[in-house]
Amino acid sequence: MTPTDPFYLGVLILTGFFTGIVSGMLGIGGGFIMSPVQYWLLQETGLQHDIAIRIAFGTTLFVVLLNAINVAHIYHQKNAVLWKQATIIGVFGSIFSFAGAAVASYLPASTLSKIFGIVVLIGVIRTYLTPAVTEKNYISSNSFPYVFSGIIIGFFSGLLGLGGGVIGIPIMLIFLHLDMRKAIGTSAAIIIFTSFSGSIGYIINGWGKAGLPPYSVGYVNLLNWILLAFPAFFAAQNGAKIAHLVDPEHLKLLFIILMLYVGLEMIGVIDRILYP
């Protein structure tokens, strides 16, 4: 397979569209969907595994940036973004997202994929245990929880090519006790910071590396970016509209199901079941 094959192009376009719908509904960047798909496709082109996973992560973060701006704007119009908290978390998250991207440049693909899966599965457990609608009457003025959250969200965002929603939304629900919709909107705002910093980190750390596929700028592949970003951008608006018509508990259930599948896939459980 080559990157110009109709199958390769079609899978990425459909993935972008689906990711946009999910991003708009759940306030996530969609990294936990796009990264595994790209990793698989890039390997099918014959690309070395360690390079494939870094390009998948770096390109995903660059797509997520556009997604997050779009989704945050939509939720801001519905008064569902806590900008003060998002900014504190986002600033610290962006610093550590860059650091996470640097660390990822030195880890093997097998290690990164397993860490990716474990982080996603932890998010599943914590989200499942947290009600979708339990909003506080006040928001803490103490900055420390937001700074600490930013460090955690940012580092794993950069390390694993996640915008941060898979980690950020559980934090919004568990520590801020926000309504699911406000957690979604605030998470999208945070992702703007983390995805920008993380994608820059992947570009810098991949600059001039041997074995990169065509149209790559460091570990960001511009062909993949175009095929994913534009369908996702337009689809996200429909996803956000759907989210405001759906029961928050149903949104949470969808979030959990998607995370569970991807987490199990990345640590190899799905393959062991299908191909014992």
- Per-residue pLDDT of 205-245, as tens digits, reads 999 898 899 999 999 999 999 999 999 888 877 777 776 67
pLDDT at 228: 95
- Which pLDDT score, from 0 to 100, does residue 220 have? 96
> Is it the case that residue 264 has pLDDT exceeding 80?
yes
End-to-end Cα distance, the chain:
26
Report the pLDDT value the prediction gives residue 133, as an integer from 0 to 100.
54
Neighbour-count burial for 144-162, b at 16+ CB within 10 Å, e otherwise: eebeebbbbbbbbbbbbbb
pLDDT score at 256: 81
pLDDT of residue 132: 53
pLDDT at 193 exceeding the cut of 80: yes
Q: Rounded to the nearest 10 degrees, how much is the dihedral formed by the CA atoms of 190, 196, 200, 201? A: 10
The pLDDT of residue 107: 82
Q: In the numeric block, which tokens belong to residue 73?
A: 């704007």
Confirm if 37 and 52 have CB atoms less than 8 A apart: no
Q: Shortest CA distance to 54 belongs to which of 162, 160, 204?
A: 160
More confidently predicted of 137 and 179: 179
Mean pLDDT value of segment 182-209: 88
Judged by average pLDDT, the poorest of 11-15, 224-228, 263-267 is 263-267
pLDDT in tens, 111-138: 877 887 887 787 777 667 666 555 554 5
How high is the pLDDT of residue 167? 76
